[in-house]
């Protein structure tokens, strides 16, 4: 009799099993969010982005062949250790690009038109139509500055022309097709991008190079009254410095979907009225979260069988 391959899958992903066929030679064990990874002969692991996969975890899983991360970002994986142990790793690119770009735009609109404050006022009945109540800014003629022009950054940029926004981007890699498609302009120095943009939207991966990329100096280099949007990873922005920039009025507003220590949100962020806070829902549509699972599952199955992964990291 063929032995069954044991895999560990994050408990929160149970819902999506209805969309796939689980082969009879695969045995799934669910991993609750707060439980440590158990020791065992598991050959595959499908974790959420909130679980750190490091040496201590891999020590408990000596037979592990693949980690299929349920996220496009993979800052939760220690890739050096995975490589050293010969464990393959994958993420979920492409399938969440459009949903994340849409949510980024929801934040751009919400921050520029003060939807958070407006919604609170409406609920609390604290309003009467007034010509200067809750004035936001017009987008037309302004510049959207993208920090990172990978898949999601470009998808955000492509949505800008109908709103009359010009697009500038900062990225190590030039994107000529993106430039000619929407007239986007590449700016080589980060400080120049920050000085040119009315709205700065972050779309770089969190890594040792980008941790704290936007600190007090960078916020200071932004235009007075600019808007900052972050749907990438919290650790890219110095949150205390952002609170100060919002408090002083240096920034008009900001929109965040991600935080340094999720699910904790710093008090000074919660207190800022001109800040839209979302609980990391960039990819949260039914179709996208299902597609992410299908892709992660396919990678998991390929990895445990020693086949090439669809979206290796």
Binding site for ligand DGY (CB under 6 A): 49, 71-73, 96, 282-283
Per-residue exposure over 279-288, b if at least 16 CB sit within 10 Å of its own CB, e if not: ebebbebeeb
- 235 vs 282, beta carbon nearer ligand DGY: 282
- 113 vs 151, beta carbon nearer ligand DGY: 151
Q: What is the largest CA-CA distance in the chain?
A: 77
Tokens of 301: 């199955």
Distance in Å, CB of 91 to ligand DGY, minimum:
7
Active site residues: 233, 262, 280
- 143 vs 201, beta carbon nearer ligand DGY: 201
Distance in Å, CB of 272 to ligand DGY, minimum:
22
- 274 vs 298, beta carbon nearer ligand DGY: 298
Instruction: Report which DSSP code applies to 4.
Output: P
Distance in Å, CB of 123 to ligand DGY, minimum:
29
| Gap between the Cα atoms of 55 and 49, Å rounded | 16
- 73 vs 150, beta carbon nearer ligand DGY: 73
- 78 vs 198, beta carbon nearer ligand DGY: 78
Distance in Å, CB of 288 to ligand DGY, minimum:
8
CA gyration radius, the chain: 21
Give 293: exposed, middle or buried? Use CB within 10 Å, 0-12, 13-18, 19+.
Answer: buried
- Of 152, 180, 154, nearest to 169 by C-alpha is 154
| Gap between the Cα atoms of 138 and 38, Å rounded | 54
| Gap between the Cα atoms of 80 and 218, Å rounded | 30
Distance in Å, CB of 274 to ligand DGY, minimum:
24
Tokens of 173: 């890699």
**Ramachandran class of 94: left when φ > 0, alpha when ψ lies in -120 to 50, beta otherwise:** left
Distance in Å, CB of 47 to ligand DGY, minimum:
12
- Is the peptide bond preceding residue 263 cis, with omega within 30 degrees of 0? yes
Instruction: Report which DSSP code applies to 211.
Output: T
Q: Which residue(s) pair with 68 in the sheet?
A: 90
């Amino acid at each position: 009799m063929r032995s069954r391959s044991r895999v560990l899958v994050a408990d929160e992903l149970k819902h999506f099993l209805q969309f796939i066929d689980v082969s009879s030679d695969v045995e799934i064990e669910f991993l609750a969010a707060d439980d440590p990874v158990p020791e065992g002969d598991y050959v595959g692991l499908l974790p959420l982005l909130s679980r750190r996969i490091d040496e201590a975890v891999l020590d408990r899983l000596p037979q592990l062949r693949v980690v299929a991360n349920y996220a496009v970002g993979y800052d939760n994986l220690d890739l050096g250790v995975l490589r050293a142990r010969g464990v393959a790793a994958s993420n979920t690119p492409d399938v969440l690009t459009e949903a994340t770009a849409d949510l980024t735009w929801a934040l751009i609109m919400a921050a520029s038109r003060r939807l958070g404050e407006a919604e609170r006022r409406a609920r609390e009945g604290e309003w009467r139509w007034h010509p200067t109540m809750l004035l936001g800014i017009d987008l037309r003629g302004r510049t959207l500055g993208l920090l990172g022009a990978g898949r999601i950054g470009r998808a955000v940029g492509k949505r800008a022309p109908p709103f009359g926004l010009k697009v500038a981007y900062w990225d190590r890699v030039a994107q000529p097709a993106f430039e000619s498609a929407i007239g986007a302009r590449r700016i080589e120095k980060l400080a120049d991008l920050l000085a040119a943009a009315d709205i700065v939207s972050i779309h770089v991966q969190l890594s040792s190079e980008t941790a704290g990329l936007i600190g007090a100096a960078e916020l200071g280099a932004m235009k007075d009254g600019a808007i900052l949007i972050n749907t990438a990873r919290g650790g890219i922005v110095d949150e205390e410095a952002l609170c100060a920039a919002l408090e002083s009025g240096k920034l008009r507003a900001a929109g965040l979907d991600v935080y340094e220590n999720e699910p904790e949100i710093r008090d000074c962020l919660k207190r800022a009225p001109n800040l839209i806070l979302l609980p990391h829902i960039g990819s949260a549509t039914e179709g996208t979260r299902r597609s992410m699972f299908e892709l992660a599952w396919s990678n998991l199955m390929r990895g445990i069988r020693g086949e090439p992964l669809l979206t290796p990291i």
